[in-house]
Amino acid sequence: MTSFTDLGLMAPICQAVAAEGYETATPIQEQAIPVVLSGQDVLGLAQTGTGKTAAFSLPILHRLAESKKRPGPKKVRCLVLTPTRELAVQVGASFATYGVHLRFKRTVITGGVGFTPQMNALAGGLDIVVATPGRLLDLATRGYAQLDQVECFVLDEADRMFDMGFINDIKKIIAMLPKERLNLLFSATMPPAVAQLAEQTLRNHKRIEVSPTSSTVERIEQKVMFVQKDKKKDLLVSVLNEQNINRVIIFTRTKHGANRLAEQLGKSGITAEAIHGNKSQGARQRALSEFQTGKVRALVATDIAARGIDVEGVSHVVNYELPNEPESYVHRIGRTARAGAEGVALSFCELEEVPYLRAIEKVIQQTVPGDDTHNFHDASIAEQRNSPHIKAPKLQRGGNKGGQGQGQSRNHGGGQQRQGQGHGQGRTTGAGAAAQHGRGRGGQGGRARTTRAA
């Protein structure tokens, strides 16, 4: 077991890490931190929940502190791009927490809020900016952010960036960066489009892979339940009541489906909230807060909205509807079994979803065990999983996907509307807002304490 001091991080950072109760580095942290400290580009592949945020934020803080530079007006020293608002807030909170003893100017930039506070923050220059692509590009093209002195560029969750259609914005932002910079690209999976971007962006990089591409977290117990479509709600209520599940994330494919299911659960006596891109950021933060405190038992989410959710104690994930992108299955079930804990992932499979199940099993390279012990088991559907007439659909990665409702972003004076940005940008209020601006301590974004750095 390697301590953070052993990795060569300076004392103020190690002190902040220790104050959070983190004792030893995770595999991705142990391998990535020394490489980043040395100034070499990194391509990091790690399952969700492995601590990759600390794997790049800790050594970046160290390098920024060592160089002792100060950003000029509108300049940025470190730029981190994330696909969603929630993840941006979470990463910003990590920099605030780990840099509590270092005097850095930082902010989180997402859409859905007024331009003025962000323009004001950028005016004096910033050490660290964590942003979603659309709003940052708006600010940069209008001259409020100048990216020609970025020392370190991080692209976090690159695979989801492609899924949400951000690739063109990302390429435009990269074109604004200086040629001489440190590049860090992290992704849970490595589809061809991400591999191509890595080849174009990284220079003499170190590839760090702590688990096989698209593999699922070994600590998660996976089960599939074959059920007719109109019996899924009854099965869900039965599972939640009989297994005494206190904290569960339930996935649907659409925003409308999430709203409807949360309402149905409420009528069945199960406290639930929906979280998706059509919800205001304030509503999303309130739902997360109530879920963390236990006021809400079930969080019903779409794939994109759930990215960045890091809540301790989620014992179960339920795929109420199987994802039509098999790699989303990996991200979904990774919401449980975080920080060394164990978890259970249950998937409800109706007849039309059998091809999705076959595609998932092809990607994770294992068969998901079937559970026929529930009262709603449909043997005829279960038999179809091995039918030679049922084939896994051709996998599609990158760009906008059907059923995810990404929509268009609002045009905020001067910026043009871009497809695929409805999610991942919006208002940051409540616990998350504290992570957006300021120096030193503050803004931990309501993160639950764990025994390893997130």
Judged against a pLDDT cut of 90, whether residue 336 lies above it is answered with no
Do 11-214+407-435 and 220-384 show the same overall fold?
yes
As given in the structure block, the two tokens for residue 303 are 């794939």
What are 30-71's pLDDT values in tens digits?
999 999 999 999 999 876 667 889 999 999 999 999 998 999
The pLDDT of 142-158, averaged and rounded, is: 96
Nearest to 303 by CA among 445, 214, 166, 403: 403
CB atoms within 10 A of CB 237: 16
Q: What is the pTM of this model?
A: 0.66
Looking at the chain, the whole-number percentage of residues with pLDDT higher than 90 is 56
Q: How many Å apart are CA 8 and CA 33, to the nearest integer?
A: 9
Q: Are 331 and 188 in contact (CB under 8 A)?
A: yes
Yes or no: say if 79 and 127 are a contact pair by the CB < 8 Å rule: no
Q: Where are the domains of the chain?
A: 11-214+407-435, 220-384
- Residue 265 CB-density burial (10 A; 0-12 exposed, 13-18 middle, 19+ buried): buried
CA distance 352 to 45: 32
pLDDT at residue 298 tops 50: yes
- What's the mean pLDDT in 446-452? 40
- CA distance linking residue 372 with residue 382, whole number of Å: 9
Whole-angstrom Cα distance, residue 305 to residue 53?
Answer: 18
> How far is the C-alpha of 17 from the C-alpha of 21, rounded, in Å?
7
Of residues 449, 99, 158, the one with CA closest to residue 331: 158
Strand runs labelled E in 156-271: 182-187, 206-209, 220-226, 248-251
Q: Which residues are within 8 A (CB) of 416 and not within 5 positions of it... i.e. 6 or more apart? A: none
Helix (H, G, I), strand (E, B) or coil at 339: coil
Q: Going by C-beta distance under 8 Å and a sequence separation of 6 or more, which residues neighbour residue 283?
A: none
Section 389-418 average pLDDT: 44
Does pLDDT of 412 surpass 60? no
DSSP 15-38: HHHHHTT--S--HHHHHHHHHHHH
Residues 398-415 have a mean pLDDT of: 38
Mean pLDDT across the chain: 83
Which CATH architecture best describes the domain 220-384? 3-Layer(aba) Sandwich (3.40)
Instruction: State residue 85's pLDDT score.
Output: 83
Amino acid letter for position 250: I
Residue 349's nearest CA partner among 324, 316, 314 is: 324
The pLDDT tens digits for 155-195 are: 998 888 887 788 899 999 999 999 999 999 998 878 888 89
Q: What is the arithmetic mean of pLDDT over 8-25?
A: 93
Cα 52 to Cα 42: distance, rounded to the nearest angstrom? 12
Look at the block and give the residue holding tokens 């339940």. Answer: 225
Q: Which class would CATH give 11-214+407-435?
A: alpha beta
Cα gap 432→388, rounded to integer Å: 49
**Paired tokens of 274:** 């929906």
Cα–chain-centroid distance for residue 166?
Answer: 15
